[in-house]
Structure 1
Amino acid sequence: EADVIIAQPQWSVIATWIHRSRARVIYDLYDPETLETLETSAHRSTLERYMWLELTLDRLHDALRGGHHFVCASEKQRDLWIGAMYGERLIAPTLYDRDPSFRSVIDVVPFGLPMGPPPVPTSSAIRAAFPAIAPDDEIVLWNGGIWNWLDPACAVRAFAHLRERRPRARLVFMGAGTMAAAKDATARARQAALDADLLDRAVFFNAEWVPYHARSAWLQDADCAVGTHLEHLETRFAFRTRLLDCFWAALPPVCTAGDDLSDRVRRDGLGEAVAPGDDVALAAALERVLGRGRGAYADALTAVAAEYAWPRVAAPLVDFVLDKRPSRPLGGNARGPWRRESTHQARFVAYQLGHHWLHKVNQARVRRQRR
């Protein structure tokens, strides 16, 4: 009964229901999942990685053919997805002639921010969670999850350098995830802090996920933020939402360069951005930002935050929803066969069966070794 459906690329069965409806379908391509999968599956076997990548690509290509409109997080992402459409032969001359800009098909709708500043906290959220942090300590906040495509160990190594010059500095990791990729990355970060003799002395890990509505109190209790990632394709096309929260809370970030928002940090003087993996440069950048104080960055951060207010960034999506002109799915405007649902289903079943078989083989090996 829906007139419009907004979704991320879906698994085959759900996608079939969506595409058979009479609704206008808008796919959200905010997450470059096809590139992210290369990182999240790094701990799997080569066969499993190939299969997961194929399944993710199938979902993307089915979405590109079945969607009427698309939104993504940045102009850089828009270039990526237009390239994917072109590679799938979906940019038909008739559709191009109606709108050579292609904005009526795919436009930029990043994650947004609430209008106005965050509420003033009534207590110190971080110090309440970590009583060992003194009132006069300087808090550097990792304001988000720890994932294996990020580089938290670089932030820990930088703190080993920073502590020599700013002994009151404290690094706090805000959230802990439950997925395997998050647990593994958190364990490596904790080990790096332990090896540097900083764990629970200068580097602290919050064991729970901070509720979304409570995040502003943590952001306002810090002196600056830090976020580091590795140099790979996921980074290039990522849109680090955690940096948006820094803009909203007027908290200057020190981050790794290479993604869309870190480029904005460097260009507009919102904090500092350094090369990936350079813990010495990161320590120096943290020292400069802490030395200037968050007040020195407040006006620039507040101005940029206003650009990402929800009513402003969501305008193209609203236009897509309210568009009453007749429209066909993008795949209906192009020549070439639609990727068959059965192909996707077969790959998924083959993966499940293959995974089950590999598990049985490993069990048999263990039994033989025990004999």
Structure 2
Amino acid sequence: MNDVSSSVAVLAPEPIRPRMAGMGIRALELARTLARELEVRLLVPNDPAEAAEVAADVPVVFAPPEGDLVRAAQGATAAVVSGHAANYWFHQAPGIPVAADLYDPFPIENLHYVETLGEETARHDRAALHLALARSDFFLCASAEQRLFYAGALFEAGRIGAANFPEDPALEKLLAVVPFGVPGRPARGDRAAGRRAAGVPEDGPLVLFGGIYDWNVPELLLDAWPAVRRKEPEARLLFLDSPNPETTPQRVHAEARRRARTLDPDGRSIVFSPWLPYDAREDLYAAADLLVSISSDGLESDLSYRTRLLDAAWGGVPSISISAGALAREIEDAGAGRRVDRSAGALAEAVVTALSDHARLSAAARRFAQERTWGRVARPLLSWCRGARVNGGRLPLPESSAPRFWSRFRRRTASSS
């Protein structure tokens, strides 16, 4: 029986629907995990009937950020918020203890979009982070690297100091590592179904890159692809289109499409597929033999937690990576993948070698993922929710955080998308 004395509202920062990406998936899975022991409702910005298709037994409440979030969260003793939607929560529900999920360092990610979105997006993201640091009671991050980054930000914001550090020098009451997780059961995909859904023939190895963001470097894999094909003539490479193209700049994705058609005019060996439903990903992993993740060097990669590496490992898919953050290092240490130098030759050799050793690497990937279920990784959040209280170290609302600022920004980005 669930603990009815604790009721948690999880505010989804993105639409919850069959086709969704990282931040929406994380909100859904955290809600599911907490709901095993506590009363939980998932507040969504989209049609609740659409969200209920994937939320299953988690109650769903329609709660657009500019609406009445307090009414939607009525009775909640704690909340979990993230992304830009959190800005509205801090203004509307100051009396409810709140955990800010900072696993996605979007103020850093979005600096890759400055040429497309302009400097105002960067100013907005910085203001959103400052607001979360000032008004949250507990903070989540995804890795040790992120923990240091956010600890520095919290110190600079005045949230770490003489009032709380002596009693909590490890910051356990303020900042916890809660990475991405996987289901607590083995993946059970259908290889043939996954190949059909992706538009890929059933024969030959399949290398999955997945979605393309502006910090990714698919060009290097395309440079290496002819050498891979010389060793594996039936190999195919799969990219996925964005599930949110209206809000996610597509510059690198478009460049990759153009280059792919130059290398493979008929689209026989390099395939672009629509983003698949979240519940269909097990079939995709059963269809794939290897995942490749390549990103540019820099702060975004240093702070990243490439969730696709973990989710694919759950499905038995090993990975080859370049600048893929802490998770790639952990996967390599577990023998479930390999990090390689930034060269087409090294990448091609690593891909061919991994394809020839798939069975061993796949078993190691599954073992790696089994230790990182949602039930395990979310324990610090569950513990906080049980005894959630407003932190006495909260700071006043920053002057630049008036609700009209967020509304003005939302209208502007909506009109330009």
TM-score interval, smaller chain? 0.7 to 0.9
Mapped partners of 1:236, 1:265: distance in 2: 16
Find the structure with the greater CA-based Rg. 1
Q: TM-score, normalised by structure 2?
A: 0.75
Which residue of structure 2 aligns with residue 286 of structure 1?
Answer: 351
Aligned pairs for 1:187-202 (under 5 A) are 187-197=254-264, 200-202=267-269
Which residue of structure 1 aligns with residue 303 of structure 2?
Answer: 237
| CA drift at 1:257 | 3.2
Percent identity of the aligned residues? 28
Q: Which amino acid aligns with 1:226?
A: V
| CA drift at 1:128 | 5.2
Mapped partners of 2:246, 2:322: distance in 1: 24
Contact 1:118 1:248 (8 Å CA) reproduced: yes
Contact 2:211 2:242 (8 Å CA) reproduced: yes
**Is residue 2:260 matched to residue 1:183?**
no
Aligned pairs for 1:310-321 (under 5 A) are 310-321=374-385
**Is residue 2:219 matched to residue 1:153?**
yes
Q: Which amino acid aligns with 1:194?
A: R
Secondary structure of 1:328 counterpart: coil
In structure 2, the CA distance between the partners of 1:194 and 1:252, relative to structure 1 (3 Å rule), is same
1:188-217: CA deviation from partner (whole Å, max 9, x where unpaired):
1111112223651210100x2200000110
1:146-167: CA deviation from partner (whole Å, max 9, x where unpaired):
1111111222211122112221
- Match of residue 96, structure 1, among 165, 171, 175: 165
Secondary structure of 2:237 counterpart: strand
Q: Which amino acid aligns with 2:394?
A: G
- Match of residue 64, structure 1, among 116, 122, 133: 133
Contact 2:141 2:147 (8 Å CA) reproduced: yes
Q: Which amino acid aligns with 2:128?
A: R
In structure 2, the CA distance between the partners of 1:37 and 1:305, relative to structure 1 (3 Å rule), is same
Segments of 5+ residues of structure 2 without an aligned counterpart are 1-74
Mapped partners of 1:315, 1:62: distance in 2: 26
**Is residue 2:155 matched to residue 1:73?**
no
1:239-273: CA deviation from partner (whole Å, max 9, x where unpaired):
11101112101111111134011111222221121
Which residue of structure 2 aligns with residue 118 of structure 1?
Answer: 187
Contact 1:119 1:216 (8 Å CA) reproduced: yes
**Is residue 2:208 matched to residue 1:141?**
yes
Secondary structure of 2:139 counterpart: strand
**Is residue 2:387 matched to residue 1:323?**
yes
| CA drift at 1:15 | 2.2
In structure 2, the CA distance between the partners of 1:13 and 1:120, relative to structure 1 (3 Å rule), is closer
What RMSD, in angstroms, separates the aligned Cα atoms of the two structures? 2.6
Mapped partners of 1:338, 1:128: distance in 2: 48
Structure (1/2) with the larger helix percentage: 1
Which residue of structure 1 aligns with residue 90 of structure 2?
Answer: 15
Contact 1:227 1:253 (8 Å CA) reproduced: yes
1:216-254: CA deviation from partner (whole Å, max 9, x where unpaired):
101111111112111121111011110111210111111
| CA drift at 1:69 | 0.5
**Is residue 2:381 matched to residue 1:307?**
no
In structure 2, the CA distance between the partners of 1:210 and 1:351, relative to structure 1 (3 Å rule), is closer
Q: Which amino acid aligns with 1:204?
A: V
Aligned pairs for 1:226-265 (under 5 A) are 226-265=292-331
Aligned pairs for 1:211-222 (under 5 A) are 211-222=277-288
Q: Judge which range, 208-217 or 226-235, deviates more.
A: 226-235
Contact 2:206 2:235 (8 Å CA) reproduced: yes
| Bigger relative contact order (CA 8 A; separation at least 6) | 1
Secondary structure of 1:192 counterpart: helix
Q: Runs ≥4 in structure 1, deviation > 3 angstroms?
A: 9-14, 174-177, 179-183, 341-353
Mapped partners of 2:187, 2:300: distance in 1: 30
Mapped partners of 1:82, 1:76: distance in 2: 10
Give aligned pairs, total.
340
Contact 2:216 2:295 (8 Å CA) reproduced: yes
Secondary structure of 1:247 counterpart: helix
Segments of 5+ residues of structure 1 without an aligned counterpart are 360-371
In structure 2, the CA distance between the partners of 1:172 and 1:91, relative to structure 1 (3 Å rule), is same
